[in-house]
Amino acid sequence: MELFSKMIEPDIVSWTALISAHVKLDHNQDALIWLVKMVREGTKPNQFTLASALTASTKLTAMETGKLIHAQIIKTGVQTDSFIASSCSHGKLVDETMFWFRRMNMEYGIVPKEEHYACVVDALGRAEMLSKGVKFVGSMSFGPGLGVLRSLLSSCKTQVALL
């Protein structure tokens, strides 16, 4: 923070690093405050900044803030389906992740890809639901690729560490 405050003109990389660090430390409200400061000072958020901000809002379960960030994501043209699922999984929001996973196909006609399945497996793993993750992988309409297997393996590692 001290280094950041000494910068004459922070760029998008320094802003994003600051916001992301706050999210990683679970200082989610502070992350969103810094996002507002960044925008007020005239720096436009990029996809990485928005990903961190969306993760912060999901961890806070701040739905209105999340909707505003989602609108900004759409304006920037970032692929929103995997973006939202990823943010939800990092926020340990299994129900929200499953909601968006189902909705993307049923309401928007988006066929789930490897990355979408990996996000769901990741969310289940972070929520310590390894057995559900294994069942979910077994229900896939195609064989799991590296992304899904990596998420599943990460979940196994997390479960073992908790024992």
- Rounded Cα distance between 113 and 78, Å, is 16
Domain boundary among 78, 109, 134: 78
Over residues 31-42, the pLDDT tens digits come to: 999 999 999 999
Closest residue by Cα to residue 48 from 10, 86, 81, 8: 86
What confidence tier does 71 reach under pLDDT thresholds 50, 70, 90?
Answer: confident
Domain boundary among 32, 50, 78: 78
Most confident of 20-24, 53-57, 88-92, 98-102: 20-24
Phi–psi pair at 17, nearest 5 degrees: -60, -40
Confirm whether 86 is domain-assigned: no
Overall number of domains in the chain: 2
Confirm whether 92 is domain-assigned: no
- Rounded Cα distance between 65 and 1, Å, is 24
Q: Domain range holding 160?
A: 97-163
Confirm whether 127 is domain-assigned: yes
- Rounded Cα distance between 20 and 78, Å, is 18
Are 45 and 72 in contact by the 8 Å Cβ rule? The answer is yes
Are 78 and 47 in contact by the 8 Å Cβ rule? The answer is yes
Indicate whether 71 and 121 sit together in one domain.
Answer: no
Confirm whether 90 is domain-assigned: no
- Rounded Cα distance between 1 and 93, Å, is 29
Confirm whether 89 is domain-assigned: no
Given a cut of 70, is residue 91 above it in pLDDT? no
